[in-house]
């Protein structure tokens, strides 16, 4: 799972009001290179919750993103390539996602988060 997906995902447990962002417990992170598309990054920049993204990238062992951002940074190739790398090239392979409100762990195996809820969570 890439941070792109992590940034869109929230805990869906019944009664949970703020299920975002899921905290990442990373056991294994892999990198898979993909080509950069600056237009896509600019669009995604509008959608990404930066603080959650920043934290997520750190928990994946990547510390090259700036704390504060503004859309002016999208002019910088340097920024774009870091944003690209963190958003689309880092994959959480093994570990877990943790609901910020309840602490419920959603395990991640072979890159796939198990988001299935127990019956009493629906």
Partner 1 sequence: MASRPELVAPPEIFYDDAEARKYTSSSRIVEIQASLSERALELLALPDDGIPKLLLDIGCGSGLSGETLSENGHHWIGLDISPSMLNVAVEREVEGDLLLGDMGQGLGLRPGVIDGVISISAVQWLCNADKSSHNPILRLKAFFTSLYRCLANGARAVFQIYPENINQRELILKAAMRAGFAGGIVVDFPHSTKKRKEFLVLTCGQRAVNSMPEGKDDDGESCSDDDSEDEENQTVRVSDRHRPQKKQKWNKSGKGKEWIKRKKEQMRRRGNAVPPDTKYTGRKRKDRF
Smaller CB separation from partner 1, 11 or 57: 11
Closest CA to 3 of 51, 37, 38: 51
Name the one range near partner 1 by CB under 8 A: 35-43, 67-75, 76-84. Answer: 35-43
Which of 17, 39, 67, 68 touches partner 1 (CB under 8 A)?
39
Q: How far is the C-alpha of 86 from the C-alpha of 53, rounded, in Å? A: 9
Q: Which two tokens stand for residue 100?
A: 């910020």
12 binds partner 1 (CB under 8 A): yes
Residue 26 near partner 1 by CB under 8 A: no
Interface of this chain with partner 1, residues 58 to 117, rule: CB under 8 A? 88, 93, 110-117
Stretch that binds partner 1, among 11-19, 66-74, 75-83 (CB under 8 A): 11-19
86 to 12, 69, 73, 104: CA distances (angstroms): 25, 15, 15, 25
Among 37, 64, 76, 102, binds partner 1 (CB under 8 A): 37
Task: With CA atoms as reference, report the closest residue to 3 among 58, 79, 42, 71.
Answer: 58
Residues ≥6 apart with Cβ < 8 Å to 106: 11, 22, 96, 97, 98, 99, 113, 114, 115
- The distance of closest approach from Cβ of residue 82 to partner 1 in the complex, given in angstroms and rounded to an integer, is 15
Query: Which residues of this chain interact with partner 1, rule CB under 8 A?
Result: 1-2, 4-5, 7-12, 19-20, 28-35, 37, 39-40, 43-44, 47, 49, 88, 93, 110-117, 119, 122
């Amino acid at each position: 799972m890439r941070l792109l997906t992590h940034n869109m995902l929230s805990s869906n447990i019944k009664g949970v009001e703020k299920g975002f962002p899921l905290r990442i417990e990373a056991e294994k992170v892999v990198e898979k290179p993909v080509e950069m598309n600056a237009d896509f990054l600019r669009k995604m920049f509008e959608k990404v919750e930066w603080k959650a993204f920043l934290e997520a990238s750190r928990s994946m062992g990547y510390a090259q993103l700036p704390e504060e951002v503004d859309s002016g940074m999208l002019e910088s190739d340097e920024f774009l390539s870091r944003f690209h790398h963190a958003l689309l090239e880092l994959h959480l392979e093994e570990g877990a996602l943790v609901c910020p409100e309840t602490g419920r762990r959603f395990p991640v195996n072979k890159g796939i988060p198990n988001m299935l809820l127990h019956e009493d969570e629906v």
